[in-house]
């Protein structure tokens, strides 16, 4: 459909053509992160819309790992929506212990290697669906793996989710510049700022919760 094509240009910014699907993904993404910084449950339904838009966009620019990631975001978005609706998210923020952090690091590394290797050959295994080779498969695989874990930690309200998101955002800024998706690169720069704010804000929430529990 032409309406969801990256070639369906709405306007230009400094010579860069912004498509409808990229604009939808950008706006819903920023709103989603803004709500997550505030531990507001509205982050999840908006995030589902964001994931659907990005799924369509990433398929068109051959970032297949990121494309499949959006399916996971939709699934975990439903889980997070239900989980955050149960009680006040601000009062359940917590940290990972050392063993959990070690596990997260292992899973990110292993997932990057496995997915990157697979996506390097996906155009050979499924040429009927993927006519072009995956672009930057290992960097794409890192953002995919780290995001899969980060969104689960987000749904469980773990502070370390923001550390992963900041790492993902930095890699995505570079990746999208290389792919020529400049509007999204700017968006991920804003994401990195919001993620930093989220880390600081959630640490404050946790400290306030501890003070309240002591009283």
The verdict on pTM exceeding 0.85 is no
Sorted by sequence, the CB contacts under 8 Å of residue 53 that are 6+ apart come out as: 21, 24, 25, 28
Which tokens in the block code for residue 27?
Answer: 């706006």
Pull the structure tokens for residue 88: 């006040």
Tell me how far apart the alpha carbons of residues 95 and 39 are, in angstroms, rounded to a whole number: 15
Q: Rounded to an integer, what distance in angstroms lies between the CA atom of residue 121 and that of residue 182?
A: 27
Sign of CA dihedral 201, 207, 211, 214: positive
> Can you give the pLDDT of all 215 residues of the chain as single tens digits?
577 777 777 777 667 777 888 888 889 988 998 999 888 999 999 999 999 998 988 888 877 767 888 998 999 999 999 888 876 555 688 999 999 999 999 999 999 999 888 888 877 777 777 767 677 888 888 988 998 899 999 998 999 999 999 999 999 999 888 878 777 788 889 989 999 999 999 999 888 876 655 55
Helix, strand, coil abundance in the chain, percent, nearest 5: 75, 5, 20
Please report which helix (H) or strand (E) contains residue 107, including its range: helix 98-120
Contact 144, 66 (CB under 8 A): yes
Tell me if 202 sits within 8 A of 39, measured CB to CB: yes
Q: 206 near 212, Cβ under 8 Å? A: no
């Amino acid at each position: 459909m032409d309406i969801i094509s990256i070639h369906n240009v709405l306007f230009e910014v400094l010579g860069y053509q912004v498509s409808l699907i990229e604009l939808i993904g950008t706006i819903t993404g920023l709103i989603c992160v803004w709500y997550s910084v505030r531990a507001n449950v509205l982050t999840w339904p908006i995030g589902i819309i964001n994931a659907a838009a990005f799924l369509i966009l990433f398929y068109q620019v051959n970032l297949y790992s990121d494309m499949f990631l959006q399916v996971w975001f939709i699934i975990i978005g439903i889980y997070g929506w239900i989980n955050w609706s149960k009680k006040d998210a601000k009062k359940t923020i917590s940290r990972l212990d050392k063993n959990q952090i070690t596990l997260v690091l292992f899973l990110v590394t292993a997932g990057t290697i496995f997915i990157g290797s697979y996506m390097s050959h996906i155009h050979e295994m499924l040429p009927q669906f993927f006519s072009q080779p995956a672009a930057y498969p290992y960097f794409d695989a890192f953002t995919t793996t780290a995001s899969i874990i980060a969104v689960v930690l987000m749904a469980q309200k773990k502070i370390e989710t923001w550390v992963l998101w900041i790492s993902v955002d930095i890699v995505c800024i570079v990746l999208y510049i290389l792919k020529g998706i400049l509007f999204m690169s700017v968006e991920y720069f804003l994401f990195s700022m919001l993620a930093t704010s989220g880390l600081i804000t959630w640490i404050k929430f946790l400290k306030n919760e501890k003070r309240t529990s002591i009283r």
